[in-house]
Structure formats: structure tokens, C-alpha cells
A and B are shown apart, each in its own frame.
Chain A
Amino acid sequence: MTIDANGMHYTPLNKMIRQAVASGVREIVIDNVLGQRFIANGLRSNVRITINGVPGGDLGMFMSGPECIVRGDSEHAPGNTMDNGTIVIHGSAGDAVAHSMRGGRVFVRGDIGYRGGIHMKEYDQKRPVLAVGGTTHAFLGEYMAGGIIIVLGIGHEVAVKDRGIGSGIHGGEIILRGDIEDRLLGVGARKVIFTEDDLNRLSPLITEFCERIEVDPSQFLDTNYTRIIPASSRPFAGKYTWE
């Protein structure tokens, strides 16, 4: 099914998507998307939605299941509070990508803005993934409480050169290609060596990500990464005294 979203408001667009999904459609292509927010918002399905154009903010927010493929850039916070499913962005994305994401995967081929993966969290089997092919700006993985962030830094000298990486992190892990200067680490973040075990554990994910963004995975399957983890799962435990 193909929808021409030229000039369409997001509410009727989402209504069309919901109706299509309800009637059993499993493959939707939306052409001429330009700024429509909230696409696939709260949608529960295994539908695949191809978005040709630049979707507006909060793409796939609260989404639970679908796969959204964006042939273009994306505005702020794709994958916001997303529950399950996959978003693949073949361009770049704005700030707060994967904000509070609790499950599923957000793959960005290009770069992302500030505070990517902020407050991602995990529970039980749900472990969200944010993978970025290019680079990110500051406060990557701020307040991170779970899940995995991977940044490959393709086309950049270093994967991340902005400050505040993992500031306030108290769960999950951040995997950055190459080495990272200590001064870029945020409060409560700790740098550890990326081991062979880590590589074994993560190579399926790295491979899948590379395939989805159409780059050769073999060049990334080594231990040339930095792993950033929380110094404690209780970052504020020592901050207070009782009255």
C-alpha cells in the first residue's frame, strides 16, 4: 500500500496507517513525507513502513512492533519512549534520539544530535539499542539506565568528540569506535576495555546494524572500541543525609 503524504497533516496520516494495519496490510510506503510528526505513534503491529522524505519529531514514539525505514533525515527524538520494533534512518537525525527508549532498535546511518539515547532503560528481556553510523553530539547516553548505544564514527576521526558522554549513567553500556579522551566522560561514567568477550557478544548486533545501513561489517569486527559503563547503579546514593 502506498500513501502520498504530500501536504497531509499527521492525524489523518496516522489514521490511514492504523486503518491499513487493522485491515491486514503489512507493507506500507509513504511518499513525500515532509515534517509530519508522530508517524507510527503508539502503533502495535509487525507492519513495515517505508518513509520517503523527512519525518517530523517523535517518529515511532511509544511504538510497539513495527519497522520504520526512513529514506532521508529525521527530526528530533525518533524512537522516543519506544517499546519495541525497529527504526532505520538512512540519513541523520536530530536531538534526543531514542529518548527514554525501553525496547527495540534505532539504527541511524548518519549522525545524531545532542543527548542521543538519553535515559534509555532496560528491563528483563527488553534491551533497547541505539546504533549510529556517523558521530554524535554532547551528552550521549545521559542518565542512561539500560540498553546499548553503539557509535561507529564512519567518516570521522573519532567516534565522538563532544563532552558529557554517559553523564549520570547508571545502567547499560556505550560502545564507541576507537579510543575516547577521558575528559569527554560525564559524571558517573567509567571507561573499560572492550574485550574479546564483548566483541563476541556484540558482533551479531554490529553485523546486523552494518547490513541495515548498507556498509560492509567486516571492517568493524575487531576490538578497537571503547566501552563506557556506569561507575555505580546508585549514582546519587551518597548525595543526601536525613533530616
Chain B
Amino acid sequence: MSLGSVPLKYKISIDRDQCMKCMRCVDNCSYGVYRIEDDKILIDSRRCTACHRCISMCPRDAISLKEKPVDYRSHPLWTAQAREDIINQARTGKIILAGMGNAMDYPIIFDRLVLDACQVTNPSIDPLREPMELRTYLGKKPAKLEFTKSDKGDIELKTELSPNLKLDTPLMIGHMSYGAISLNAQLSLAKAVAKTGTFMGTGEGGMHESLYPYQSNMIVQVASGRFGVDINYLERGAAIEIKIGQGAKPGIGGHLPGEKVCSDVSCTRMIPLGSDAISPAPHHDIYSIEDLAQLVRSLKEATEWKKPIFVKIAAVHNVAAIAAGIARSSADAVVIDGFRGGTGAAPKVFRDNVGIPIEAAIAAVDKKLNDQGIRNEVSVIASGGIRNSADLAKSIALGADAVYIGTASLIALGCRVCGNCYRGLCPWGIATQQPDLVNRIDTDVGSQHVANLIHAWTLELSELMGAAGINSIESLRGNRERLRGYMLDEGMLKVLNVDPVGA
């Protein structure tokens, strides 16, 4: 018995009056939607992923795309997606893999938080004309200053600062590995962070040698697979991040399919060509919090205590207590990745159902660390679904020191969030290792776009702070007075520790 086909996801059509048959669509589509027969461009809409590459390259705006061209009988429970997933699994008996972040229609807490501004009782500050400090140091801070008295009676500072990363703006680019994304994508991001005085993560795939010139702006990641990890790699990084979990798929490992392990990826990861690169769910030298402390200290010992060590966890129910444990492990920063965090590929059931939103996670972690009197001693980095400078400002007001962006930086490189990263055919040259596709990214142009984005958000953050009468990022951090909840329930307000609008 055949289940037949499911309806098209997208319907592509060409306005034949407009089309000049330049064939750019045919050349650009890596999914094979277009082909030429008898001088006519034929369309196979079923292959379309809505990546918009053809649309963006069409000089005549002749292409149009319609989502869900075929209706199902509408039903609030049995959505089209629910039905199609069942058909898919009835056919294959397999786990459904999906790309990009959480695609469920959960309420977005960021959009129910509003920021404050000054009126009368204190003046707004114009950030273009008055000092505005976004400089952020990530790393361990002393609990208090200590002094010694010299023989002459001079007071000398006794407290020694641990190594901290100095950011010009509290915005970094998160970890996307070489393998998951292309070298040109990584290079563009690396040049952008070097230009804007901030940092990016290498992801867990090692560091390709062409990124060495930017290594002082890179945070090297050590994940359970330990790909590309040796002492040289650790010493190259400005900081080292231990990846425990990821917001898009908390509690499970990951794997880079063998077909993405080309010769350069294999060399950077230090694994054989074409073999699956498997990251186990846990680090097998970390089965408990004291083991994490051991790995943190081992990394510090290996790099002679010169590098800050970050620990990244997925935002899960008990995130606050876990973060507090990490804070006491010698780690310098805790990275929390919310359930909207992006991914190249994750089992859909995890991507859409496991973990908690970053907004609640930041607030809970901030509160727990405050309750324990150690909030300022460790940095908190938030990630997972940060879309604009308002999300950035709200994250900091909820208690983050800085944020990581991932998807947003890829959109600046062309990504249209089609969510087919795992197929390795990304027509924008981002989530692919095919040389012809990778070469679509000009790293100078790409890096300028990413740098523009960082610059624009930084400007907007300055404006938001100035309007709130704040001229230093420290004074926005954890400052719930400058947030109000709009249409959030009482329980949520309590977790976020914000008052409702009007209060």
C-alpha cells in the first residue's frame, strides 16, 4: 500500500513575461529546483527549501514563492506538520532530523518585556556626544579588594585579577564549527569580530589554519568529541569553552555525518576522511560536577592558568543550580543556551520540546548566583534566539554579561533560515563543504556585513542605555528596574523578577 506523496511545502512560479532567461536561478539553486529543457526553465517545486537564493539573484523579480500551496482540512491539533511527520515516520521508521532552532509556536518572552526610558527626573544621555561604556570583561572577578601595607606604609593592591576577555561590545558570535559551516563562513565571522573588538567561537571542530591570524579573537571549544583538541589548539584560543550541552538538543550528543568530513574538515578535526564525527552525549571524563571542576582545572593547568575557561550548558529545568555549581568549579564564565538556539541538525523532537527559554534561564541563574553572593565573581553569557539589539538589552537587564549570536550572524551572510543545514547543500555557501557553493561567500564582503550588524546593534544598545540614563553597561546588567512585563502571568513575572507594566 502506498502512502502517496504529501503536498508541496512551497510552490515556485516564474512570471514568464518578466523572465529574461538569464539562467541565474538555474545556476544558483543547489537543490535542483530548476532545469532547462528546450530553452524553457522547468520547475520542480518539491525540491524547493525556500532558501530564497534564486529570488535574491533574479534580476527581474520574476520568481515568486508560496508557502503551503495546498490546504489540509484545518484542525487545531492535527496540524499539517503533525500529519506529515507521522507519514514520514510511518514510511521510514526513523528519527526526524531538522535544522535551525525550535520551530514551535511558543510565546516569545522577549516580546513581552519592555524597556524603560528617562523622563524629567533624570536626563537621557546622548551616546554620540557623551561617554557611553559598553566595554565588558568576561571572566572571574574577585569578591572584594585586598591590600597589603608596604614597609613604608604605602597601601599596595594585593588582589590579582584572573585573566578576563575584554569585549568592546557585549555581543559575541557563538560556536559554529568548521564542518557544520564552511571555512568561508567562519573566516567572514572571524574577520568581523576582529574588526569590531569582540570574539567568536570555533565550535567543536578544531581551528583551521587559515583562522590562525584571528586566533586572538577566538574562543576554542572543547566538546565531548575532543575534535581537533591538542595543546596547540588550546593555547591558540583567547579563551577555552567546555561545551556540555546545546540549547537546540539538550541531553544528547551530536554527529557530523561522514559526507561532510572532507579532507580539510578531517584534518582540522583530526579524524579520518569520511567517517562520522561523533560527539557523545556526555563528556566521558565528566560524570558529575566535581569531574567538570577537574576538566576546568586540567585545561587551566595545561595552559598555565592564562586562559579564562567558559562552560556552556543548555538551559534545562534546573539550569540555575547547575550554573551555580559551575560557578564554583574554577570556571570563569557560564554560557547558557536557551531552547531556541540554532543547530545544523537536531532531532526534531528535541529541538522543539526539550529545554527552557533563555529569558527565564538568565533570570533564574542571575537570581541563584545573587542568592549565593557570587554573581559578580563569574560571568554569564546568554545565547539562543537573540534577534536584535532589544533582545540583547533585555538579556543584559535580566542578568547576562554578554550574549552569543549564531543564526543572526548567519543571516548577515545570506542565510534565510530555510532550515536545511543538515543537507550540506546550502546555496549561500554557509552550511556546506562543496567548494563551488563555499566560494559563493566572499569573505571580505561577508565580514563587512557581519561587522555592520554588530556595529548597528552596538549603536542601538548605546541609544537604549542612554535613553535609560545609563552610561555604563555594568549598570544595565541585572537591572530589573528597567524592565517591565507586558501580558506575562504572575508566575513568569516572579521568575523573571520584573514588575508588570504600570507597576
Residues of A participating in the B interface, judged by any CB pair closer than 8 Å: 10-11, 14, 18, 37-38, 41-42, 44, 57-58, 61-64, 76-77, 80-81, 83, 96, 99-100, 102, 115, 118-119, 121-124, 126, 142-143, 145-146, 168, 170-171, 233-243
Contacts and interface: CB of A to CB of B under 8 A. Distances in A.
A237 B257 contact: yes
Contacts of B269: 123
Given A99-B284, A237-B258, A83 B276 contact: no
B490 interface: no
Given A58-B294, A122-B272, A237-B276, 7 more contacts: A42-B234, A57-B294, A76-B285, A102-B229, A146-B272, A236-B255, A241-B97
Contact of B231 (A44, A143, A236, A241): A44
A14 B230 contact: no
A233 B258 contact: yes
Nearest to B81: A243
Contacts of A115: 284
Contacts, number: 144
A168 B275 CA distance: 13
Contacts of A81: 226, 229-230
Contact of A38 (B276, B298, B345): B298
B493 to A, nearest CB: 35
Contacts of B302: 38, 41-42, 61-62
B276 A170 contact: yes
Given A123-B266, A126-B270, A241 B297 contact: no
Main secondary structure of the interface of B (DSSP, over half): mixed
Given A42-B301, A58-B285, A80-B285, A241 B276 contact: no
Given A102-B270, A170-B278, A64 B231 contact: yes
B272 A62 contact: no
B230 A234 contact: no
B97 A145 contact: no
Interface residues of B, number: 48
Contact of A234 (B88, B94, B275, B305): B275
A146 B271 contact: yes
A235 B234 contact: no
B254 to A, nearest CB: 10
Interface of B: 85, 88-89, 91-92, 94-99, 224-226, 229-231, 234, 255, 257-258, 266-267, 269-272, 274-276, 278, 280, 284-285, 294, 297-298, 301-305, 345, 347-348, 419, 422-423
A99 B234 contact: no
A241 B92 contact: yes
Given A42-B234, A42-B303, A64-B231, A145 B271 contact: yes
B276 A143 contact: no
B269 to A, nearest CB: 8
A41 B298 contact: yes
Given A115-B284, A240-B96, A240-B347, A170 B294 contact: no
A35 to B, nearest CB: 12
Contacts of A119: 224-226, 278, 280, 284
Contacts of B274: 233
A100 B280 CA distance: 11
Contacts of A121: 226, 270-271
Contact of B423 (A118, A126, A242): A242
A120 to B, nearest CB: 10
Interface centre among A41, A234, A238, A240 (most CB of B within 10 A): A240
Contacts of A58: 285, 294, 298
A83 B231 contact: yes
A74 B225 CA distance: 24
A42 to B, nearest CB: 3
A37 B230 contact: no
B298 A234 contact: no
Contact of B276 (A100, A124, A235): A235
26 contacts: A14-B301, A37-B301, A58-B294, A63-B231, A77-B285, A80-B285, A96-B284, A99-B284, A99-B285, A100-B225, A118-B284, A119-B224, A119-B278, A119-B280, A119-B284, A122-B272, A123-B272, A143-B284, A233-B272, A234-B257, A236-B255, A237-B276, A239-B95, A241-B88, A241-B91, A241-B94
Nearest to A38: B301
Contacts of B297: 37-38
Contact of B97 (A11, A170, A233, A240): A240
